[in-house]
Amino acid sequence: NAEKAKRELDGTSRKNRILKIRFAPNATALRVSNLGPFVTNELLYRAFEVFGPVESAKVQVDERGKSTGEGIVEYKNKPSASAALKHCSEKCFFLDSSLRPCFVEPYTYQDNNSDGLSEK
């Protein structure tokens, strides 16, 4: 699979050049920023499913498990991701009662094995 190929080939040498293997950008994934400290994976998921079926939603956390104020929402299809991006670019979108608008942009894949912030 792609993960295995990336692990095996990334950093290897071919024709005197070091290979850097990356995944292609996913047109269905969005980066969400300016999240409040109490936004969880579930809240992120529920808030963004109003635009269409969500594959996953994860709040990014630091090494101590504390929210970084950013998250990734992956939709099952591109039209849903486009609808979310369009709505959040044109209007304020709030996830909780803090009246802190979140910002949304297309996401470019980076290596990160985080499970996000759980409900506890």
Each residue's pLDDT expressed in tens, for the chain with a length of 120 residues: 777 888 888 889 888 888 887 765 668 999 999 999 999 999 999 999 999 999 999 999 999 999 999 999 999 999 999 999 999 999 999 988 888 999 999 997 655 544 555 555
Whole-number Å distance between alpha carbons of 80 and 93: 16
CA atoms within 13 A on the CB side of 90: 6
Q: Tokens 């912030």 appear where?
A: 117
Q: Which CATH architecture group holds 25-106?
A: 2-Layer Sandwich (3.30)
Q: How far is CA 31 from CA 17, 85, 117, in A?
A: 32, 10, 15
The full set of domain ranges for the chain reads 25-106
